[in-house]
Chain A
Amino acid sequence: MTTSSLFDVLMERVSAGERLGADDLAQLAATPDILQLGMLADTVRRRLHDSQVTYLRVALCPFDKPFTDAVPLAAREVRVTGTPDTLEVAITAVEAARAVAGERAVSAFSWLDVERLAAAESSRPAKVLEQLRGAGLDALAEVPLDRVADASSVVQTIEGAGYRHVRLTIEKAPAAARTSLFVAAAALQERFPVIQSISALPTLLDALRPTTGYDDVKSVAMARLAAPNIPTMQVDWLRYGPKLAQVALTFGADDIDNVAASDDAPDGRRRAPLEDVRRNIEAAGLEPAERDGRFQLIS
């Protein structure tokens, strides 16, 4: 089958809502034709979300700094960052975040932090998760698929501890290794609907060997095609910047995470974070819609 006829067949299938199989995905992962790949992923994205793109304004709060002035009113989620050494410090940070967040969602840490804190306490991750939940945590900020040995067990543990949303991430897996992770994520979501979102691009950036634009948009597209059952396909505004984040919206992403919550606009209103993210979404021919940290649209 020629490349173009392969794409034509796949386009018919994804347009009809059909999931692509492992062989199809392997062929797509090998293609240099990112435009065709983007068209396929965009078709899936539009079928799931039409022209809507959600965004989330986040207040990032290092665990070891005061939170009081770090959480603007406009923030829809308070995200505690950093890696506390002890569970006590982690719980204190979550409690402080909860206190300033009010009704807003609080996220923090990575699954790897939970494992580390549990080991330090000679405890179980489930117990640590319960304690953090008791302190006011709504969700783990990151569950890195490429860093967990048994993702199924991890998600089950998180769900069992009472968390209602799981956000899957990729920490540093190279582009070639990501497709299989996305396939695994899709299978996982079928068992655990608590998996709400996936972020296809690495959270750990290597300044000396940065990912390329092709790598990035291809990963987003492959994630969208491999896991159409995961409702939200995220791209990180702060990490990847407006240009790449915007282009990713045409390659399957439907949610912009980590938009700065500050309303300060020292360079003018049109360059304020809110205006900038909305302008970029609209300039991509899509419609912006703000959501909160619990994936609910804000009217």
Chain B
Amino acid sequence: MIQSTAKKVLEGGRVDRAEALELYRHAPTHLLGQLADAIRARKHPERIVSYIIDRNVNYTNVCVARCNFCAFYRPVGSSEGYVLGFEEIFKKIDETIAVGGNQLLLQGGHNPDLPIAWYEDLFRGVKARYPAFKLHALSPPEVLHISRLHQIPVPAVIERLVAAGLDSIPGGGAEILVDRVRTLLNCYGKATSDEWLGVMRDAHRAGLRTTATMMYGTVETDEERIEHMMRLRELQDESGGFTAFITWSYQPEHTERGGIEATGVDYLRTLALARIVLDNFDNLQASWVTQGGKVGQLSLAFGANDMGSVMIEENVVRAAGASYCMDELEIVVNIEDAGFIPKRRNMHYEILGDPIFRERDVPRMLSLATARAGGDSSVPEELRNYPARSREGKRIRLSQ
């Protein structure tokens, strides 16, 4: 069956669940890579591997979702909880622009004390100061959280956020789109599989482009990993709104769930399978931030055509034990060393140009920044303008 499925893939055919499972479980690793690489070459014959210079900012770590695989969040009232101030975020944008960046990937916890007006004001503030700067912000569970907080339908939330400056939606919070898995990970409450896909469908209908993700390696079966891909493929057939797919392995350090991380070979096999199954996705990112630069680079032989983001800052997987860093120079070196042509892109995967460090001096970046310096528990001044929902939030407002 593997040979016939391989032939089918090479001829441009679409695999079904059974064929995908057979490939994942039994195809030799190099064969999986070859099939994925053939699809990558078909979709990107020019041998360009893209990347984006943007900054991964987490505006708050306060979260009521309590996913048991997350080491980043802090409960409401925690002394370690934070909300970034608008000026802090503007400063991060300045730093991003200084190294050639054009976008924030802005995500955060489900903080009950941040009403939709806070997001709207932030987005408007960003656009007023930086009209060309892009906001790739608020994953589906965050959109859903705002919808629930205000009892506003998701399409209306999206409409308001877009009006304020939202440019696109990142695919975070997908984990595995199977409700059995989501229940075990305690993330069913933040968004069921249908709800996650529903937000994406609404976003695509609103004309937004989004990405899709998969965090594997917790409690899911092989079949459920494939089910996740199939559900994404179906929505992509319907809407065509996904620009890219990104998968990474669960990072277990400091999480409530604990356990172990899936291996490097498993990552390459999963990535390759995603390239084969997701035949209607143009772009697959390499997750160097979870796999390290070496396996990140090897991803380019296993179906990836994009090295993701320079990131500049990262907080979530760092909290769970991963602390890899690649600046633009290192990303470019890795792309070229693998025999590809590096190009900068935007979120829509439009090519922006050659590496920025070849055009002007850009400082080397040997470690990723964090949301805040350790011990900084300051409360942003403007928070007093937004009503808090939680008792602790109200207490903080009163003390301001």
Interface residues of A (CB under 8 A from B): 32, 34-36, 38-39, 42, 210-217, 241-244, 246-247, 249-250, 268, 270-271, 276, 279-280, 283-285
Residues of B within 8 A of A39 (CB): 28, 30
**CB-CB under 8 A for A270 and B263, given A35-B37, A243-B295, A250-B29:** no
A212 interface neighbour in B30, B263, B294, Cβ under 8 Å: B294
B301-A34 in contact (CB<8A): yes
**CB-CB under 8 A for A32 and B339, given A241-B292, A243-B291, A247-B295:** yes
A35-B293 in contact (CB<8A): no
**Which residue on chain B has the smallest CB distance to residue A213?**
B294
Interface flag for B173 (CB, 8 Å)? no
A210-B268 in contact (CB<8A): no
Residues of A within 8 A of B339 (CB): 32
**CB-CB under 8 A for A212 and B265, given A35-B34, A35-B301:** no
Residues of A within 8 A of B238 (CB): none
Interface flag for B258 (CB, 8 Å)? yes
**Which residue on chain A has the smallest CB distance to residue B339?**
A32
B337-A214 in contact (CB<8A): yes
Kindly list the 5 A-B residue pairs having the minimum CB-CB distance in the complex, ordered from nearest: A213-B294, A243-B264, A32-B339, A213-B297, A213-B298
Residues of A within 8 A of B297 (CB): 212-214
Query: Looking at chain B, what size class is its interface with the partner chain?
Result: 20 to 34
CB distance from A223 to the nearest CB of B (A): 17
A276 to B294: give the CA distance in the assembly, Å: 19
B263-A283 in contact (CB<8A): yes
A279-B263 in contact (CB<8A): yes
Residues of B within 8 A of A247 (CB): 264-265, 268, 294-295, 298
Interface SS of chain A: helix
B295-A270 in contact (CB<8A): no
Binary flags per residue of B258-271, CB closer than 8 Å to A gives 1, else 0: 11101111111000
Interface flag for B334 (CB, 8 Å)? yes
B34-A243 in contact (CB<8A): no
A284-B265 in contact (CB<8A): yes
Interface flag for B117 (CB, 8 Å)? no
A246 interface neighbour in B34, B259, B264, B338, Cβ under 8 Å: B264
A212-B264 in contact (CB<8A): no
CB distance from A297 to the nearest CB of B (A): 24
A211 to B301: give the CA distance in the assembly, Å: 17
Interface residues of B (CB under 8 A from A): 28-30, 33-34, 37, 258-260, 262-268, 291-298, 301, 333-334, 337-339
**CB-CB under 8 A for A213 and B30, given A32-B339, A243-B264, A270-B260:** no
A241 to B322: give the CA distance in the assembly, Å: 13
A213-B265 in contact (CB<8A): no
**CB-CB under 8 A for A212 and B37, given A217-B298, A246-B263, A246-B265:** no
CB distance from B259 to the nearest CB of A (A): 7
A243-B337 in contact (CB<8A): no
CB distance from B220 to the nearest CB of A (A): 16
CB distance from B293 to the nearest CB of A (A): 7
B337-A215 in contact (CB<8A): yes
**Which residue on chain B has the smallest CB distance to residue A250?**
B29
Residues of A within 8 A of B29 (CB): 250, 284-285
A32 to B301: give the CA distance in the assembly, Å: 10
A242 interface neighbour in B263, B298, B301, Cβ under 8 Å: B263
A249 to B30: give the CA distance in the assembly, Å: 12
Residues of A within 8 A of B260 (CB): 270-271, 276, 279
A210 to B295: give the CA distance in the assembly, Å: 13
Q: Knowing that A32-B339, A246-B265 are A-B contacts, what are 14 other residue pairs whose CB atoms are under 8 Å apart, sorted by A's residue number? A: A38-B30, A39-B30, A42-B30, A212-B297, A212-B338, A213-B334, A214-B337, A241-B292, A242-B263, A243-B267, A243-B292, A243-B295, A271-B260, A285-B265
CB distance from A56 to the nearest CB of B (A): 20
Residues of A within 8 A of B258 (CB): 268
Residues of B within 8 A of A280 (CB): 263-265
A243-B263 in contact (CB<8A): yes
**CB-CB under 8 A for A35 and B33, given A247-B268, A283-B263, A283-B266:** yes
**Which residue on chain B has the smallest CB distance to residue A243?**
B264
Residues of B within 8 A of A213 (CB): 293-298, 334
B30 interface neighbour in A35, A214, A241, A279, Cβ under 8 Å: A35
B338 interface neighbour in A32, A216, A271, Cβ under 8 Å: A32
Residues of A within 8 A of B291 (CB): 243
A244-B295 in contact (CB<8A): yes
28 contacts between A and B (CB under 8 A): A35-B37, A210-B293, A212-B334, A213-B293, A213-B294, A213-B296, A213-B297, A213-B298, A213-B334, A214-B298, A214-B334, A242-B263, A243-B263, A243-B264, A243-B291, A244-B292, A244-B294, A244-B295, A247-B265, A247-B268, A250-B29, A250-B30, A268-B258, A271-B260, A279-B260, A279-B263, A283-B266, A284-B29
A283-B293 in contact (CB<8A): no
CB distance from A9 to the nearest CB of B (A): 17
**Which residue on chain B has the smallest CB distance to residue A31?**
B339
Residues of A within 8 A of B30 (CB): 35-36, 38-39, 42, 250
CB distance from A50 to the nearest CB of B (A): 15
Best-buried of B30, B293, B337 by chain A (most CB within 10 Å)? B30
A284-B296 in contact (CB<8A): no
CB distance from A110 to the nearest CB of B (A): 25
**Which residue on chain B has the smallest CB distance to residue A211?**
B294
CB distance from A53 to the nearest CB of B (A): 12
CB distance from B163 to the nearest CB of A (A): 44
A284 to B338: give the CA distance in the assembly, Å: 23
A268 to B266: give the CA distance in the assembly, Å: 21
